Structure 1
Amino acid sequence: MKKLLIILGSIIGLIFLVLIATPIVFKDDIKKAVDQAIAENINAQVYYDEGGFSLSLLKSFPNFSLSVDDFGIVGNAPFDQDTLVHVGSFGFEIDLMSVINGEQIKINSILLDQPSITVLVLPDGTANYDIVPSSEDTAVVEESGEAASFNIAIKQWEIKNAEIVYIDQSSNMSAILLGLNHSGTGDFTEHVFDLGTQTSIESITFGMDGVDYLSNKTFNADIILNMDLPHSKYTFKENKLSLNDFGFGFDGYVAMPGEDIDMDLNFEGKDISIKSILSLIPGVYQEYLNGVETSGSISFEGSAKGAYNENRLPDVMAKLNVDQGRIKYAEYPIPIEALTIRTDLNVPGENMDDMVFNMPTFSMLLDGEKVGANLTFSNLQNYTWDFGMHGKLDLEKLLKVVPVEGMDLKGLIAADLSTSGNMKLVDEERYDEIPAEGSLAITGFEMVSEDLPQGFGIQQSKMTFSPKVINLQQFDATLGQSDMHLDGSVSNFIGYALNEEEVLKGSLNFRSNTFNLDEWMTEEDTTVVEEDTSAMEIIRVPTNLDLRLQSKIGKIVYDGMDISDLDGLITVKDGIAKLENIDFNLLDGEFVMNGTYNSVPEKPAFDFGFNIKDLSIPKSYETFNTVQQLAPVAKNVAGDFSAALGFNGVMGPDMMPDYEHLTGHGLVEIAEAALKGDNLMKAMSAASKFSGDQINMDNVKLNIEIREGRLYVEPFDVKMSGQKATVYGSNGIDGSLDYYISTMVKTGAAGSAVNQALASYTGGKEVIGEEMLVKLKIGGTYEKPKVGIASTESANGQGGSIKAAAQAEIDKQIKEAEAKAKAELEKQKKEAEAKAKEELAKQQAELEKKAEEEAKKAAEDAKKKAKKALKDMF
């Protein structure tokens, strides 16, 4: 007996020794075989912890177990810095006898612990998962003619805490799955059995083209699938899937008896509610759902039936219905009630372009006001729609239910609108054939936003629609401090809304009691240190507007000016605003203005004409920059003037005229005015001793011309110290003066003071005669004028020729200015031509170089193709 026990003990010990020694003996061979298989089948860098490579027969005797720790795959360039797969631990257990028998390998369990998968697809379609060497598939054919099979049966598998990241730059799509856990069981040794799986994902995020369709959503799935392997038929039994709180289930089957896949599946919502649907809102809005109360019945069902192959898909149908829905938010006491929705979707498998989405009913009550809508959408080849909206909507209540950040909105909209059409009408620009009719009324509308802090309000508005025109029957509104009243019609509004190149046309009557433009002066802050250098931006008139605006405004506030009783026609077309017979009152004067403002060029151009009556001269200086720049003397002139003036030029980036290139002409009439008490008069008196301290202007007519930054004044007569004087000359925007004053001086009456002043011009001799013709020259600047006596001569009855001589002098100055401007223009033209020739030569050289490179490349490509063709032939 003792001997027997020793023998049995020895046998058992030997068996244990074999169990322990076998994995050790064969470990290196198995590892080598694994490394060789990886090298032959994977074109990437594979790593694993060699110390974590484990084989054992003891852990699950009589089964065989293998495990690998810290297993991973890193791609080759350009993905050599990106890990495709990393697994914390990978292991499986194999039925040892099934391996020995060889008919079917039975895997009892597989475990992936903490796998991390990162899939990257570059814009050109290159993917980091493309790591399998390309090879021709070859079938191993047995003598019987049937392909050899490799039979594996798996009973149980599990994935713990997986992380999957998918980034596809070629389609601008991304998906992130975090906290994925999955397990499954099934006896694949049987021909017919139930396969059970459980899946949970803690966070799913999916986005495409910059839109997050899913954001931090959870997913759970419990599925039992009957597997009929001999007939390749798979039947869904008990199963439920849920995305966040939205749960749904399947029943039916999928069969693959041949090349086609046949299916008859039905799906429906399970334990779902209105809040279930709201839970699908992206995660960034989840805080908005806190404290929400919902009720009402909801149903979701559908089916996918038919064959799936290269030529067709199954027919898909889905329906979503809501009855007596109610939604109430914690911060807003008034709920949405009586929410009713009917929708259905049909997608035929033979031609998906014939899909139809239909929402015949959408209605709700918001504080007793009913809003309804309907929509039908079909035909993916020629998008066809039929939409209608009916009822009343309180925007203030709606905004509290669906808030918009940075905006306060309220008002009541009553709508009865309908439209239908298709994309063919849009593509062919047959907008007037798109039915659009109904009416829209707005009452008590108010909007304040970050972009419109002044606020916009509509007290009352009524309009009707037809395919071709919107008739605006009433529009009473406020824009900040301004009131507006409109009526008229607008056409081509559908084309304008669908195509930015289409032109919106209209004819409107505009009335306002007070319109404050100062509120809307767009300023660009260019502050340097503490100096305020803010400047207005260019005002661009949209080029896709063709509008006639008959305007009547009681008062306009603009840049500190009060413009009153404006009446006239403003037209806008092709980016040009045209003013026709715009009459208004300003600074106690009467204006009539005609002209255009063209905002299309980089530097907007203007061409305006003014008829002015009884305008205050000093007030015009205080108000208009143009007067300050070109007629600074107006600051010290007391009186009124009338004028017929024309100006044209370009605007600078600060919306001010470019004075150096301003052109103008006209007639200025002064009934009675006086210049006194300024630096000019003081300088004249000091230099001549006879000019006095005042110049009087009675019934004066000034012919003026503006060229190249200078104002030229033709000769006109004034009174100076009781004597008639003729004034002519020019001044520039830089303040420079170039004027002459010619006057007859009674030497006897003037006495010795005049003689002394004229002595330097007569060689020290006494003046002989009663009158002398004295010509004063005024130079310097208006702030620092320089006055001197240019010449003197005995009158001898020549007083009548003074004005003619002065006119000749001013004509000479204008001709010189014109010649100078013409020479400068010719110089600029030649410089531009030279620059253009230089640029053309440069471009020609670049084109020749590019053509030469392309020809060289084409020759090399042809050479390579020829070599390849020869190689393929032989």
Structure 2
Amino acid sequence: MKKVFIGFAIFLVILLAAAALVPVLFKDKIKEVVDREIAKNVEAKVIYNADDIGVSIFSTFPNLGLNIDNLAVVGVDSFQRDTLAYLPQFRMGLDLMSVISGDQLKIKSIKLTQPNIKLKVLKSGKANWDIYKAVPTEGEPDTVQSDFSMAMEKWEVENGKLVYEDLSIPFSVQLLKMNHTGSGDFEKSVFDMVSKTTSEGFTMTYDGVNYITNKKLDADVTLAMDLDKSLYTFKDNKFKINDFAMDFAGTILMPKEDIDLDLTFKALDTDFKTILSLVPGMYTEQFKDVKTEGKLAFNGYVKGRFNETSMPGFGTDLKVTNAMFKYPDLPQAATNINVDMSVDNKDGIINNTNVEVRKFHLDLGKNPVDAKAVINGLDPMKVDGNLKASIDLNEITKVFPVEGMTLRGLLKVDANAKGTYSAKQMPVMTANLNLANGYVKSKDFPAPIENLSALVNVLNATGNTDDTEIKIENFKMLLEGEPLAGRVYVKGIDKPIFDADVKGTIDLTKMTKIFPLEGMTLTGRIKADIKTKGKMADIEAGKYANITSSGSMNVDKLTFVSTDLPQGMKVTTANASFNNEKINVQNMSGFVGKSDVQMNGVISNYMGYMFAENQPLRGTMNVSSNRFNVNEWMVDEYSGQPVAQQTPTEATGVVEVPGNIDFVLNATVKEVLYDNLNLQNMKGAVIIKDKTAKLQNLAFNTLGGSFVTNGSYNTQSLSQPKFTFDLDIKNLEFKEAFNAFETIQKLAPISKFLEGKFSTNFAFAGELGQDMMPVMGTMSGKGVIEVVRAVVKNIKVLNKIGETTNFKEVQNFIIENKDIAAEILNGNLVVKPFDVKVGDINMLVGGTNNLSGGIDYGVALDVPTGKVGSALNNKLSSFAGMKDYKGAERVTLNLKVGGTMDDPKVALAGGSAKAQAKDMVKDVVASRLNTEKEKLNVKRQAAQDSLQRELDRRKKEAEDKARQEMEKKRQEAEDKLKKEAENKLKGIFKR
């Protein structure tokens, strides 16, 4: 027995040792497979750090666990600014034997912890998750063998966020705090897949309207899976939104790209209380104690084909009969609730949707609300409906819990509409809303809004949009003794005539405490006196003299912070006056984030910008600051941390210059913090126009040198933003420049080893990548570099030259006041020939640094003949024309320098007693210039060809469209003549 225990103990030790060693042995192998699979199959930017990959066996036994932290997938092309998925913790269970055998790795399980996933479909139908590289067409062999195979048994999502946005429908779904588990045997063709999904915040939106907002979701679904047929059948399932539960029956068939749906659904509970839980504001902790009566019937269907061009048909019916609800702590009930409505769309064409509200009635205490509506189609929309209500606002708080708020006043609504609604038509309608003696008081701020009144009238007697009249009269309110009053009159929808005036003080702090703004904080006071009258047609035509507009506005201690602007902004004080044409901004001071800002200037065309389409906001503003921190505004999309703290490979996206801004900003800033630079005494102009920001004589000091730059940043193409810069730099340290600028690190790595200063006047241009860094292969430019003084020592290239020639003095020397001409072509730095004197040696140098770090230089050494030693003498004798060089006073040695700065290769290329060195060096430089210029010509020709193809395509589209339009008009004319002839014939036979 003792031997048995000893043997068992040894077995356990071996097992544990194996479990500990397996991850170590196979981690590199698995990482290699992951990298290869991504490169082979994924057309997207997959970002992760090798140090964040781990392999274990204990947590996923008997499978091998692959763990990847901080994994991000960023889209390409149209989605290159979108993050498809950010996965803080990604866990994959791999079949252990498949890892050991070296065959395909079998995926057995997946777990995502706190994932942030955004699925997006553009109006064109293009989806951001379509990131897999092209697969062979039907009938062609698939020669790409995947390193992974799907043997899934279970999967899990913990505390995730999922957003699906389809702009082609337009439809979106959002799930917050989502937990999901699923199981099934994907190695089989037919099996049951069981899943459970919960979400604390389920929102569903269609065409900009939230139909379900931030509800609780609980879904248990069992699908019968037939993978060979791509057929999925609902078995046991239950979907629950808040307390409203329903189930689905039917099938989903997906043989190819199309999805064929044949589904029905119905409510599982006929208690009215279940659908009441979906009403905004109802589902609170008190909801379980709400007393209800009445019955509910709800059912519907979805049937048809779903793809990029078609939608399935759908329909729902809802009936609520003799229902009521009453909160236990409130004195009155909502009674006589009766609803009979349906939505029907048989063919899936959204415009053919019909909605019929046959009955809608409820009594809020003693206040009745009645509505009926029939809507046929969406565009155009035929409407026949009415709404009538007379509500004492105080009675609402006796029926419905409005926590912490007191309401008073009488609200009357009487609206009728009948006719067609479209871009050019309005239903014949009358709508009157009258609020009298309004009173609003919130527990968060004791000061009430008093004397609140408004009379709103909408009238259209003809059905013509231009005859629509909107009047807001007798609007007034009082907040802690500060009045606000105004009136508005608008006639017409497309080209409205308007007449409005507003006068008073708005205390934003008080207003937002009474009416909270979700996700933002707004404080401060605005005092305004504004009058305006005119026609929109005059604004669009730029005839501002026909507009009567005047007023003033004073802002005091305004602050704004939101989820989209967490840095916040503050306007300490600002005064503005305006007329028809411009706004004068005076004495504006405040902060953007932690940076102070002072501003004044003139803004023009503000009416065209606000009211007309595609008209720019123009202006000239003078901006000054003591200290502006640019880094504060460069934050990562998910972590919220400054970009400087993120890994260099993370793409934060291109910053777009607004296209409808035409501004000149004259800036004076004492200190600017940008990335790792501290810019002092910045002064110059920034011109913003046509999605381009131009720098004009922008001067600043940094790194001990002075800079003056002119340039541009062009975002007319977000996929290929362009830049130009003309730099004039004085007295900059070589090493400081190398440490601060990545471009210098790549193009001029020698600057790392130089001690001293340089000046330059250099112009260059190129494209920026999605990380806002220059795409080196696109850069071109030229200029002159003036070496003020440079101590040259401990450079491997020169050490190698010294070793090859035995001229030790070329290894350490000083250059002063030397101009060096250079050119950048396709991201390669071409240094044109320049001479340097080192003792009695004359050096001529020229060549190139390429993007991969390689160097290709020619060096000619003009030396006294007596300096040539015996070893070098033997080498020179092997070159043609060098047999009798000893009779000359000086000799020229030609050297070819290649390799890299860290590993240079130096070879003697020949010599001359006739000082022909310049020819060799010039040939090296000319060869590189010709090569790169030829590449540029090829690129230019390709761009011209692409542009011509696009112009030809657009021309053909225009011609086809014109031809179709002519054919349409011809057919319409023919049909009209035919109809007239038929009518005449009918008239003849009637006689």
**Bin of the TM-score, shorter chain as denominator length:** 0.5 to 0.7
Which whole-Å CA distance do the structure 1 matches of 2:747 and 2:502 have between them? 60
Describe the shift of the 1:788–1:668 C-alpha distance in structure 2 as closer, same or farther (beyond 3 A): same
Gaps of 5+ in 1: 1-77, 89-112, 115-158, 183-197, 221-241, 250-266, 281-285, 305-312
Which whole-Å CA distance do the structure 2 matches of 1:533 and 1:80 have between them? 46
1:788 to 907, 922, 941: 907
Which whole-Å CA distance do the structure 2 matches of 1:173 and 1:430 have between them? 51
Which whole-Å CA distance do the structure 1 matches of 2:865 and 2:900 have between them? 30
1:810 to 910, 925, 934: 925
Encode CA deviations 1:106-127: one digit per residue, 9 max, x unaligned: xxxxxxx99xxxxxxxxxxxxx
Do structure 1's residue 662 and structure 2's residue 767 form an aligned pair? Answer: no
Shift of 1:346: 7.7
Shift of 1:666: 0.9
Tell whether the 8 Å contact from 2:764 to 2:779 is kept in structure 1 after alignment. yes
1:448-467 → structure 2 map (5 Å cutoff): 448-467=561-580
Which residue does 2:739 correspond to in 1? 622
Shift of 1:417: 1.6
Describe the shift of the 1:624–1:372 C-alpha distance in structure 2 as closer, same or farther (beyond 3 A): same
Which whole-Å CA distance do the structure 2 matches of 1:367 and 1:541 have between them? 43
Which residue does 1:373 correspond to in 2? 486
Tell whether the 8 Å contact from 1:246 to 1:279 is kept in structure 2 after alignment. no
Shift of 1:634: 0.8
Shift of 1:381: 8.6
2:687 to 558, 566, 571: 571
Amino acid at match of 1:459: T
Do structure 1's residue 588 and structure 2's residue 704 form an aligned pair? Answer: yes
Amino acid at match of 2:908: I
Calculate the TM-score normalised by the size of structure 1: 0.62
Which residue does 2:228 correspond to in 1? none
1:339 to 431, 451, 463: 451
Which residue does 1:388 correspond to in 2? 501
SS in 1 for 2:657: coil
2:651 to 532, 535, 541: 535
Shift of 1:675: 2.2
Tell whether the 8 Å contact from 2:440 to 2:450 is kept in structure 1 after alignment. no
Gaps of 5+ in 2: 1-259, 273-292, 303-310, 325-333, 345-349, 371-387, 417-426
Shift of 1:314: 12
Encode CA deviations 1:360-412: one digit per residue, 9 max, x unaligned: 33333334433333333456796443332222222122111111111122111
SS in 1 for 2:774: coil
Describe the shift of the 1:166–1:472 C-alpha distance in structure 2 as closer, same or farther (beyond 3 A): farther
Tell whether the 8 Å contact from 1:563 to 1:585 is kept in structure 2 after alignment. yes
Which whole-Å CA distance do the structure 2 matches of 1:503 and 1:845 have between them? 32
Do structure 1's residue 689 and structure 2's residue 806 form an aligned pair? Answer: yes
Which whole-Å CA distance do the structure 2 matches of 1:844 and 1:351 have between them? 35
Which residue does 1:274 correspond to in 2? 393
Which whole-Å CA distance do the structure 1 matches of 2:839 and 2:435 have between them? 98
1:178 to 314, 317, 320: 320
Which residue does 1:261 correspond to in 2? none
Tell whether the 8 Å contact from 1:163 to 1:180 is kept in structure 2 after alignment. no
* Higher gyration radius (CA): 1
SS in 2 for 1:734: coil
Do structure 1's residue 513 and structure 2's residue 632 form an aligned pair? Answer: no
Which whole-Å CA distance do the structure 1 matches of 2:838 and 2:298 have between them? 96
Shift of 1:423: 4.5
Tell whether the 8 Å contact from 1:522 to 1:537 is kept in structure 2 after alignment. no
Which residue does 2:612 correspond to in 1? 499
Tell whether the 8 Å contact from 1:341 to 1:359 is kept in structure 2 after alignment. no
Which residue does 1:47 correspond to in 2? none
- Greater shift after overlay, 475-484 or 426-435? 426-435
Describe the shift of the 1:759–1:502 C-alpha distance in structure 2 as closer, same or farther (beyond 3 A): same
Do structure 1's residue 639 and structure 2's residue 756 form an aligned pair? Answer: yes
SS in 2 for 1:661: strand
1:745-760 → structure 2 map (5 Å cutoff): 745-749=863-867, 751-752=869-870, 754-755=872-873, 758=876
Tell whether the 8 Å contact from 2:439 to 2:449 is kept in structure 1 after alignment. yes
- Greater shift after overlay, 422-431 or 717-726? 422-431
Amino acid at match of 2:779: L
SS in 1 for 2:736: helix
Which whole-Å CA distance do the structure 2 matches of 1:80 and 1:778 have between them? 74
Amino acid at match of 1:818: K
Do structure 1's residue 701 and structure 2's residue 819 form an aligned pair? Answer: yes
Which residue does 2:337 correspond to in 1? 201
1:401 to 514, 521, 546: 514
Tell whether the 8 Å contact from 1:524 to 1:535 is kept in structure 2 after alignment. no
Do structure 1's residue 554 and structure 2's residue 673 form an aligned pair? Answer: no
1:694-773 → structure 2 map (5 Å cutoff): 694-720=812-838, 723-749=841-867, 751-752=869-870, 754-755=872-873, 758=876, 768=886, 771-773=890-892
Encode CA deviations 1:611-632: one digit per residue, 9 max, x unaligned: 2111111111111222112111
Describe the shift of the 1:380–1:711 C-alpha distance in structure 2 as closer, same or farther (beyond 3 A): closer
Tell whether the 8 Å contact from 1:204 to 1:219 is kept in structure 2 after alignment. no
Which whole-Å CA distance do the structure 2 matches of 1:839 and 1:350 have between them? 44
Encode CA deviations 1:703-727: one digit per residue, 9 max, x unaligned: 1111223222122122446623111
Encode CA deviations 1:6-56: one digit per residue, 9 max, x unaligned: xxxxxxxxxxxxxxxxxxxxxxxxxxxxxxxxxxxxxxxxxxxxxxxxxxx
Describe the shift of the 1:173–1:617 C-alpha distance in structure 2 as closer, same or farther (beyond 3 A): farther
Describe the shift of the 1:676–1:214 C-alpha distance in structure 2 as closer, same or farther (beyond 3 A): farther
Which whole-Å CA distance do the structure 2 matches of 1:834 and 1:319 have between them? 59
Do structure 1's residue 488 and structure 2's residue 601 form an aligned pair? Answer: yes
Calculate the TM-score normalised by the size of structure 2: 0.55
Root-mean-square deviation (Å): 5.3
Shift of 1:755: 4.1
Shift of 1:565: 1.3
Amino acid at match of 2:671: K
SS in 2 for 1:497: helix
Describe the shift of the 1:842–1:294 C-alpha distance in structure 2 as closer, same or farther (beyond 3 A): closer
Encode CA deviations 1:315-350: one digit per residue, 9 max, x unaligned: 979573423x432223x1423243231426485878
Which whole-Å CA distance do the structure 2 matches of 1:243 and 1:177 have between them? 19
Encode CA deviations 1:813-849: one digit per residue, 9 max, x unaligned: 42354345446655x47985998899899999999x9
Tell whether the 8 Å contact from 1:431 to 1:495 is kept in structure 2 after alignment. no
Which whole-Å CA distance do the structure 2 matches of 1:720 and 1:754 have between them? 19
Which whole-Å CA distance do the structure 1 matches of 2:953 and 2:464 have between them? 54
Amino acid at match of 2:453: I
Tell whether the 8 Å contact from 1:691 to 1:721 is kept in structure 2 after alignment. no
Which residue does 1:444 correspond to in 2? 557
Describe the shift of the 1:578–1:531 C-alpha distance in structure 2 as closer, same or farther (beyond 3 A): closer
Describe the shift of the 1:789–1:489 C-alpha distance in structure 2 as closer, same or farther (beyond 3 A): same
Tell whether the 8 Å contact from 2:439 to 2:452 is kept in structure 1 after alignment. no
1:190-269 → structure 2 map (5 Å cutoff): 200-201=336-337, 219-220=361-362, 242-243=363-364, 246-247=367-368, 269=390
Which whole-Å CA distance do the structure 1 matches of 2:582 and 2:949 have between them? 51
Shift of 1:452: 0.8
SS in 1 for 2:886: coil
Which whole-Å CA distance do the structure 1 matches of 2:472 and 2:964 have between them? 58
SS in 1 for 2:929: helix
SS in 1 for 2:627: strand
1:50-61 → structure 2 map (5 Å cutoff): none
Describe the shift of the 1:316–1:166 C-alpha distance in structure 2 as closer, same or farther (beyond 3 A): farther
Shift of 1:83: 11
1:417-428 → structure 2 map (5 Å cutoff): 417-425=530-538
Which residue does 2:796 correspond to in 1? 679
